[in-house]
Amino acid sequence: MHAPQAEIVEVQDLIEWPDFLRQHDPVWEYLPQSWGEGAFLGDGHLGAMIYSGGDDIHRLKSNQVRWELGLAGATAQGDRSQYLEPRLLIGDFLLDPKGVIGWEASRMRLDLWQAELTGEIVSSNGSIRINSFVHATQRILVVDLDYSECTELPSFDFHPKSGVSAFDEFRDEASRSKIPHPPEPIKLVKNGVHMHVQPLLTGGECVTAWYEAVISKDHRRFWIVVEVDHGSQEAREIAYQRIDSAVKTAWQELLSKHRNWWSDYYPASFLSIPDTRLEGFYWIQIYKMGSATRADAPLLDILGPWMTRTPWPGNWWNLNAQFSYAPYYASNRHVLAESLSRAVESHFDNLIANAPEQWRHDSAALGRAGSVDMLASTGPGDELGNLAWLCLCLWRHYRMDMDTAFLKRVLYPALFRAIQLYLHVLEAGDDGRLHLPATISPEFSGHQNCGTRDCHYDLALLRWGCRVLIESAETLAIDAEKVQQWQNVLERLVDFPVDSTGYRIGADLSLNHGHRHFSHLMAGYPLFVIDPASAKESKLWKQSLEHWLGLGGALTGFSFTYAAAAYAHLKEGGSALACLNILLDRFLKPNTMYTEKGPVIETPLHGADALHEMLLQSSRGEISVFPAIPSDWENATFVGLAAEGGYRISAIREQKKTRLVYIKCLVDGLCRLRCDFVDPLLKDQSGNFQKCLRNRCGQYEFPVSAGKEFWMHERDDSGPWAFRGVQADARYENYYGSPKYVYTSNPVNMKQGDTNDS
């Protein structure tokens, strides 16, 4: 017999990025009236939300359009009544058209591809054409206003906020009267650059600076910068230099640098599905991710750069941070998530300080809430697992590139100390097993007096952490004696408490009422301590999941993003899609933001990661392509999604069958791939056929090496193949922006909970 001839696989790239994203641009057919309707711009540091009217609670029309400013990392020092250094409210630039605004006549559009807002504000004084963006690399907000159709010159002025915490409006009047007020602001002008300097209570200052460039008689361009320092007195000079540098740069050069950053950002990965509404939601989250944080930005908190009135002006560590960072990994954009790893490294001493004093020699912790410096407002108390859970983000970061330097420098030290905290409290029971004392399952019954022995949340994180530490120590060839200790813990640790409904909250608590958090389900997703491929374990997990959903009541947006990802790992694509549709139908704001008692951004971001799990999964050493596709999705494509083990995966699905899988390998290893191929061929980038065996688990298995590329397709499929967007449903193009009536799609028979009562 003759060996098959080498044949290079040719795949066309037919992705027309500007046109593809244009169909998902948020469009406002009338002016947005609240934070949850506004257009948002950002660069991971400086953010602006553009809308008219009040916040999401006081949704009132206004005759002005505001650019509400936020600065990541800007904190109101000295206010330690509830959080350590809560976020600072900056203020608004208000556009007054000098006429009555025509709400229905005004228009706006957020160009995702170029990250620019354009629009027309129509008033009885005439029309104002706007163009605005936060520059991708210069940390400056540009607002370009053309007044040529106005009879009277409109105004655009800065209206500062109080210089205190964004939480203060939620206090009662008696509490507000006791708040120390910061010193009076200082107003300066330097070479035409205006500065509003807000001194902070404990030193330092927050500076908002702007420059008005007169382009022509009826054309103004505003350059706006916000900077903060905590005692260095550098903010004024930095703000001035940013504006001076931008103004002296040729306009087209500045614009090109901004647009080039975004045109380089988007192609890191691609996906397209036949559900145009969900696809549009996804790409707005990708835009949001690029706007929310950068590698050199402060830690992404509960609102990112879009600070507004909120009861939660800080960081939360028992869900919010973990969900906010979740989509950066599979989307192959984890370089932006270095804001998290940098925070862990630079504030490692604070993580140690969060632990009980007697254990700080080898432990670290995160309490429930705190500030960007990772110093928690209280110690961990009985909520012990938050740092270990945050380390899951670091683990995913490591696994996407398999960078052992990152493992040694960032992940291993943090996880080591997080697990040591557990080892200090483990107790041997009369049954010979290791048990945990009473700890808290996040958010169960509001945390109040609900500690339980052998809490599922903590048992799952302890099991996961020991397994990862063993694998990591063996990779790094260190801590052999600790490996034995962790193995002993795994062998002796008590089983997860269960009852007739499935997983219990803990040994002392069953789930007998509505509970929005999934902390008692984490052994399944996201930790994969249990094996969803095991019929017995997946049955128990599914029973627990559906009991939780069936209780309803307290379920909220992130409950359904979790359920979507969980159903995806149970290989139930229809149920996963149903949960994402509930998120879109019942919980999202028109601009894809999310609000409970106040705005928070983690839920829609995690919704994007749940979609990843429907298209590509990588855990427990297996890569699964199109594992949870709804039955009516005939076509789907993704390109360059990141998989654990150091892989970038692309795939084409047509007529309900996988046609092509492309694997790019960053490291040496053994690839185990699961997909619906029946009799596939495997070729390398030179067109040479490679041996590909199907093992007992049904995975296609083959050795790989760094830099190699592989193509897999059915033996009888000779192409042609092309990466392209799935045909859009015109009804749902440009779906987000102005509030719209939504369609409802719920293909599973599932008892749903009420919306959140806030």
Tens digits of per-residue pLDDT, 550-573? 998 789 999 999 999 999 999 999
CA distances from 338 to 144, 270, 282 (A): 32, 21, 22
pLDDT of residue 200: 85
Give the number of residues written for the chain: 758
Q: What class has domain 31-268?
A: mainly beta
Mean residue pLDDT of the chain comes to: 91
pLDDT of residue 329: 98
pTM of the model: 0.95
Residue percentage of the chain with pLDDT more than 70: 93
Q: What are phi and psi of 403, to 5 degrees?
A: -85, 105
pLDDT of residue 230: 77
The answer to whether residue 446 scores a pLDDT higher than 60 is no
Q: Which residue has the higher pLDDT, 381 or 220?
A: 220
Q: Which residues contact 217 (CB under 8 A, 6 or more apart)?
A: none
Sole residue written with tokens 């509830």 = 82
Sole residue written with tokens 């912790």 = 365
Tokens for 121, please give them: 């504000």
pLDDT of residue 612: 98
- Count Cα neighbours of 384 within 13 Å in the Cβ-side half-sphere: 31
Q: What is the mean pLDDT of residues 66-76?
A: 92
Q: Which residue has the higher pLDDT, 451 or 673?
A: 673
CA distance 429 to 144: 69
Q: What is the mean pLDDT of residues 577-584?
A: 98
pLDDT of residue 751: 32
Q: Mean pLDDT highest for which of 102-106, 181-185, 445-449?
A: 102-106
* 368-423 tens-digit pLDDT: 998 899 988 776 778 899 999 999 999 999 999 999 999 999 999 999 999 999 99
Q: Which residues contact 448 (CB under 8 A, 6 or more apart)?
A: none
CA distance 74 to 90: 9
What is the longest distance spanned by two Cα atoms in the chain? 90
Beta carbons of 719 and 659 less than 8 angstroms apart? no
pLDDT of residue 653: 98
Q: Categorize the per-residue pLDDT at 161 as very low, low, confident or very high, splitting at 50, 70 and 90.
A: confident
CA distance 390 to 387: 5
Q: Categorize the per-residue pLDDT at 742 as very low, low, confident or very high, splitting at 50, 70 and 90.
A: very low
Sole residue written with tokens 């790094």 = 476
List the single range of 116-130, 539-553, 656-670, 735-749 with lowest mean pLDDT. 735-749
Closest CA to 736 of 8, 3, 28, 131: 28
- Torsion angle, alpha carbons of 275, 281, 282, 283, to 10: 110
pLDDT of residue 103: 82
Domain ranges of the chain: 31-268
The answer to whether residue 748 scores a pLDDT higher than 50 is no
* 236-265 tens-digit pLDDT: 999 999 999 999 999 999 999 999 999 999
- SS3 percent helix, strand, coil of the chain, rounded to 5, is 30, 25, 45
Sole residue written with tokens 């540098």 = 245
Q: What is the mean pLDDT of residues 211-240?
A: 93
pLDDT of residue 636: 98
Q: At what angle do helices 386-401 and 456-476 cross, to 10 degrees?
A: 40
Compute how many other C-beta atoms are within 10 angstroms of the C-beta atom of residue 716. Answer: 8
